[in-house]
Amino acid sequence: MGRLRVPVDSYSYVHGLKACIAASASHVPASALVCEIHAHAIRRCYGLHTHVATTLIDCYAKLGIISYAESVFAAMPERNVVSWTAMIGCYAKNERPGDAIMLFQEMMASDEDLVPNSITIVSILHACAGVNALGQGKLLHAYILRRGFDSLVSVLNALMAMYMKCGCLEAGRHIFNSIGHRKDVVSWNTLISGYGMHGFGHEAVQVFEEMTQMGVLPSIITFISVLGACSHAGLVDEGKRLFESMVDYNVTPRAEHYACMVDLLGRAGHLDEAVELIQSMHIRPSPQVWGSLLGACRIHRHVEYAEMACSQLFDLEPRNAGNYVLLADIYARAKLHSEVGVLKDLLEEHALEKVPGCSWIEVKKKLHMFVSVDNKNPQVEELQALIGEFVTQMKNDGYVPDTGVVLYDIEEEEKEKILLGHSEKLAVAFGLINTGRGEVVRITKNLRLCEDCHSVTKFISKFAEREIIVRDVNRFHHFRDGASVKCMSPASAADRKTPYTSQILMESISVATLREGALKEEHGERLQKFALQQLLHKPLHLEPEITHGKIQMAVQYFNYKGVDFTFLFKLHQ
């Protein structure tokens, strides 16, 4: 078009940008082309056109260039629901779920005419799953039912994934069953993955068998999910059988599948077999494959194979400080302190920094984030003091802090203080202080849960008489009565008689309580009845005195577990 001097319009840029992403096998050349078209659009005064800017945000999101997407979004003079959805999706897909949730709330408060569409709902559900924001997820569930989005399988799949990733296996299974004959391969994959994350490997394999019997062909993702489930449950023979069966479904093993198999074999202690599998690969082993071997070497303290894995990882991922830290941990536990010093020098020489540990907890519908050894948070001192009290009692019962995870050359007492500042411990303490007795404490961590935090959390669950669920980068950890347990079994979940949709609706409304003395009790009940009937699409039978004006006045007195009730009220209109 340019050579022929054909004039371009907004659609030319939109389709050209989409073609850059679709035609490029690698994001490296695609990023240069997208930036070139972006510059051309700016020169032709199309850079801030709504459709062009929205497409740019989507392209930059797929390329992982979040800062460029933010710049385009911030400069847009006009934004529609598609623009907001593109930016929310950008955050959700690029491991910034907290920002996605905040932006969604900003969108809902910015314009009464902005109504989330199904893609918005899927993106924000993905974000809620990323940080265990179960309360926000339940609000979205109520909105989905109110707006009729439950007729869309894509929305139900995202809702099922949200519940399972937030630790509610029962709710996820209920939604899966409610999809009925409309289930697609994504529905099955989500259920298999959910069982795997919760440690139910046998159930995951059973669902896989049921899926194939129903005539649904497994995909690449299906095998990643079921092999991962076998790995977490230690089902070596089942995993081997499924891996070998991939050819029967015309699925060629990729690096991700080999990584799952290496993890499966490595966790089970079959390190020699894992190395043989890597050496027999028909494709070049990826960082995930070598990373799985390195993780297994950490479990079994195998120095030789760890060095083999890192010799590859240092070339494939030269800027990944985590590999250096993991090898240093293996050296430290093997008492090879001189090697630990060498790795520390390499980290400093290349200016590499380990990804800081971050943990999220949702309290009263508000998301809170804690960073390991965070001295800027004013609450850290109070939270560490509470954890310190638990640790003191644990020591009386024979607990010894696992200071081996601290690689600094400092005194043991200082190492113990660093352990007190781990992000998941801070999040647990915050949850105990700010939630009611009997409430489940749900935490998400961006890294693996360390052994010391695992031991401390088990003790706290017993002493505080609370159930604590931690989801780290690999799997779920359920703590109850001083033990690490599984969540409710799938069988017992299926035996429940109460319809889960009704339970969600009642929870979404009934937890909203009137401030004491603000309104008469009967008015509070009527207001709850009004909201519930709106959700259920039933006709209203309220007394004339409960007018719209009085409802608006009542909103001023509502305290929806820390969330502005006007936000919820807008969703229910």
pLDDT digits (tens, 9 = 90+) for 70-97: 999 999 999 999 999 999 999 999 989 9
The pLDDT value given to residue 163 = 96
Which amino acid, 444?
A: T
The pLDDT value given to residue 514 = 27
Q: At a CB cut-off of 8 Å and minimum separation 6, what does 64 contact? A: 27, 94
Largest CA distance in the chain: 83
Q: Where exactly are the structural domains of the chain?
A: 358-489, 498-572
Q: Average pLDDT, stretch 252-271?
A: 96
Q: For residue 27, is pLDDT > 60?
A: no
More confident residue, 492 or 129: 129
- Give residue-wise pLDDT tens across range 146-202: 889 999 999 999 999 999 999 999 999 999 999 999 999 999 999 999 999 999 999
d(CA 528, CA 512): 8
More confident residue, 124 or 366: 124
The pLDDT value given to residue 499 = 45
Quote the radius of gyration of the chain (alpha carbons, Å). Answer: 26
Of 332-341, 371-380, 438-447, 457-466, least confident by mean pLDDT is: 371-380
The pLDDT value given to residue 61 = 94
Looking at the DSSP bridge assignments, the partners of residue 445 are 359
Which amino acid, 126?
A: H
- Give residue-wise pLDDT tens across range 474-492: 889 999 988 776 654 454 4
Q: At a CB cut-off of 8 Å and minimum separation 6, what does 477 contact? A: 449, 454, 457, 469, 470, 471, 484
Q: Average pLDDT, stretch 554-559?
A: 40
Reported as a pLDDT band with limits 50, 70 and 90, residue 375 is low
The pLDDT value given to residue 350 = 86
The pLDDT value given to residue 13 = 85
Q: Average pLDDT, stretch 557-565?
A: 39
Q: Average pLDDT, stretch 454-472?
A: 92
Strands (E), 32-97: none
Measured CA to CA in angstroms, residue 212 lies from 68, 182, 191, 206, 511 at distances of 43, 15, 14, 10, 41
The pLDDT value given to residue 466 = 93
Q: For residue 543, is pLDDT > 90?
A: no
Reported as a pLDDT band with limits 50, 70 and 90, residue 111 is confident
Q: For residue 512, is pLDDT > 50?
A: no
The pLDDT value given to residue 113 = 83
The pLDDT value given to residue 414 = 82
The pLDDT value given to residue 273 = 97
The strand order across the sheet containing 476-480 reads 366-371, 358-363, 441-445, 468-471, 476-480, 483-485
Which range, 11-15, 216-220, 512-516, is most confident?
216-220
The pLDDT value given to residue 420 = 86
Q: For residue 401, is pLDDT > 90?
A: no
Which range, 273-282, 494-503, 540-549, is most confident?
273-282
d(CA 256, CA 228): 10
Question: In sequence order, what DSSP letters do the residues of 323-369 get, joined into one string?
Answer: HHHHHHHHHHHTT-HHHHHHHHHHHHHTT--PPPPEEEEEETTEEEE
Average pLDDT, the chain: 83
Q: Average pLDDT, stretch 510-537?
A: 39
